[in-house]
Structure 1
């Protein structure tokens, strides 16, 4: 199994997007990873994103993580909304065109949880079949009525119980009012960045990637 990601650039809506891509000899599917708030220093190298990437890799998935516009070596400037979803859409299409016929899973952390959820709805409307969406400590307050979540795939929400960035109750309330089937997994004694809890995160994600 390949272990080292390849650095590359993808054509995005406002210029090139910096990305890390990992192929697989016998891939079971695809995984696109969306990173946290770029204004607060979030990048594709965030340790939670890195843990999710390795978990997807170990599950036999081709992985792609990327920097939104204005982050790292990606062109443009931050939009903090639809623009980052547009970037993710370009990254997803690049991955899907490179590996036609393979199912895709979206994994987003914090702000990236909003991006992954919104992207999932957009991909589904475009006729793309999604395997699963993971929203980890998601910024659900950024989701508006115009952000349609996917309805056909499995949805897993993972929320730290002592999150100091995203109010856990916001996520619980959002989950309670979400009409589509999904699972909400709470991580006890865990803050937003999963300090000391990354193995627990992997243990929650890994079996669901293998289904």
Structure 2
């Protein structure tokens, strides 16, 4: 099985976006991955994002991860909000153009959880039917009223119980207030970056990406 990602360039809203694409030989779906906060060093090579990419690959999905504007070789400057969602939308359209018929799963870690959630709402509003949205230790405090979550796809939220970056109680309260169906999975004795807990993360995500 092909396991090496291919560097690609995506036409973004403010210039080219650096990305890595893996085309599965017989994919049953697509995975678009959104990375954490650029201001805090987040890139598409983050180890949690890399774990999610490999998990999606092993589940038989073609994968795309990309750097937001101003990260790595991607053009532009950080927007820390709407701009990164615009970038993710461009990446989703690139992925859809190459794969017209396969369902898309969105996965986002930390700030990328906010981006993936906002992107999901935009794609659904455009008529896209998503396979699933997976938010890992998501920065839900960044979600605004206009950042509508997708409503039709399954939603999984994975939260470390000893997260030192995003207060776990914030996630629990957000989950309790969320009216759409979803599942909240808690990872015991685990910090924000899943140090020593990446195998547990993969075990939670893998069955949710299978046929």
- TM-score of the superposed pair, with normalisation by structure 2: 0.99
Where structure 2 has 5 or more consecutive residues not aligned to the other structure, the ranges are none
Please say if 1:118 is aligned against 2:121: no
Aligned-CA RMSD value: 0.4
Name the counterpart of 1:95: 95
Name the counterpart of 2:86: 86
Question: Residue 24 of structure 1: CA displacement?
Answer: 1.0
Matches within 5 A, 1:1-211: 1-211=1-211
Listed one character per residue, the Cα deviations across residues 43-94 of structure 1 (whole Å, up to 9, x for unaligned) are 0000000000000000000000000000000000000000000000000000
Where structure 1 has 5 or more consecutive residues not aligned to the other structure, the ranges are none
Question: Residue 198 of structure 1: CA displacement?
Answer: 0.0
Q: Which runs of 4+ in 1 moved over 4 A?
A: none
In structure 1, C-alpha distance between the alignment counterparts of 2:24 and 2:182, rounded to whole Å: 29
Secondary structure at the aligned position of 1:50 is classed as: helix
- TM-score of the superposed pair, with normalisation by structure 1: 0.99
Count of aligned residue pairs for this structure pair: 211
Question: Residue 186 of structure 1: CA displacement?
Answer: 0.2
Listed one character per residue, the Cα deviations across residues 147-202 of structure 1 (whole Å, up to 9, x for unaligned) are 00000000000000000000000000000000000000000000000000000000
